[in-house]
Structure 1
Amino acid sequence: MKLQSKPNSRRPLRQRGFTLMELLVVLAILGLLMSLVGPRVLNQLGGAKTKTAGIQIKDLEQSLEMYKLDVGRFPSTEEGLDALVNKPGNAVGWNGPYLKKSDVPLDPWNREYHYKYPGERGEL
């Protein structure tokens, strides 16, 4: 009686996986893609914030015009944009609030809008 060994029993088991070179190539490709796409994505985000700020400023401008129609003047610098939401003491004819929300919105960068009347280049 002869014992026969299995033909694959003497070969070492190969583990499956990626080589270091393959991983480095993949990382290099990902880095290249990020360097090309990353700045464009960040520019799009910045552009969206700028457009949002422009829309908010137009809304504030319309609200200020409605305030002027009711009161006969724009809010003073001291009254500020808060006059669009809360009635100032000396605002006869105030028919607000003139903003949809109950408070003055912050800009897209979470900062307050600065209001000055009269402005440096005219009323609005």
Structure 2
Amino acid sequence: MACVAGMDRLKKGRQAGYSLWELALVLFLMGVLLSLVVPHFSSSSYYVRQQVDLANKQRIEGAAQIYRLDVGNFPVHVSDLVYLPTGISGWRGPYLKEIPINPFNSAQSYQIDALGQVK
């Protein structure tokens, strides 16, 4: 029955297809659905960055503790955990494979204070 109605439409000179209103309605509904879904993904992205940042800080602080056991004091820079600093004896590193990258700002590096805590 639907095919017959479509054929009648074609015979009368009208083309089969969707009207502008039908397309606008579909686009509007897609926009509403996307606006409901996108905030969920952006919040999970922030959570993942937080967890990566926490893991990086814990790795650096653990490596700084081992560095202190070997050298006698905490490292001045995070790079001291990867590369042999000049004038240091007892260094048995590298204590980290690479310098961790800050997930919130890749231009900003981690800093170690005098107590081996990461800022």
TM-score of the superposed pair, with normalisation by structure 2: 0.79
SS at match of 1:35: helix
Q: Which of 86, 99, 105 is the matching residue for 1:104?
A: 99
- Secondary structure, in 3 states, of the residue corresponding to 1:105? coil
Contact 2:64-2:74 within 8 A present in 1 as well: yes
Return the alpha-carbon distance in structure 2 between the equivalents of residues 59 and 123 of structure 1: 12
How far off is 1:111 after superposition?
A: 3.0
Which amino acid is 1:64 matched to?
A: A
Q: What letter is aligned with 2:32?
A: L
- 2:3 equivalent in structure 1: none
Residues 86 and 113 of structure 1: CA distance in aligned 2, closer, same or farther (over 3 Å): same
Gaps of 5+ in 1: 1-7
Unaligned runs of 5+ in 2: 1-7
Percent identity over the alignment is: 32
Q: Distance in 2 between matches of 1:96 and 1:27?
A: 58
SS in 2 for 1:90: coil
Q: TM-score, normalised by structure 1?
A: 0.76
1:43 to 2:39 alignment: no
Instruction: Give the number of the structure whose alpha-carbon radius of gyration is greater.
Output: 1
Of the three residues 76, 100, 117, the one matched with 2:113 is 117
Greater share of helix: 2
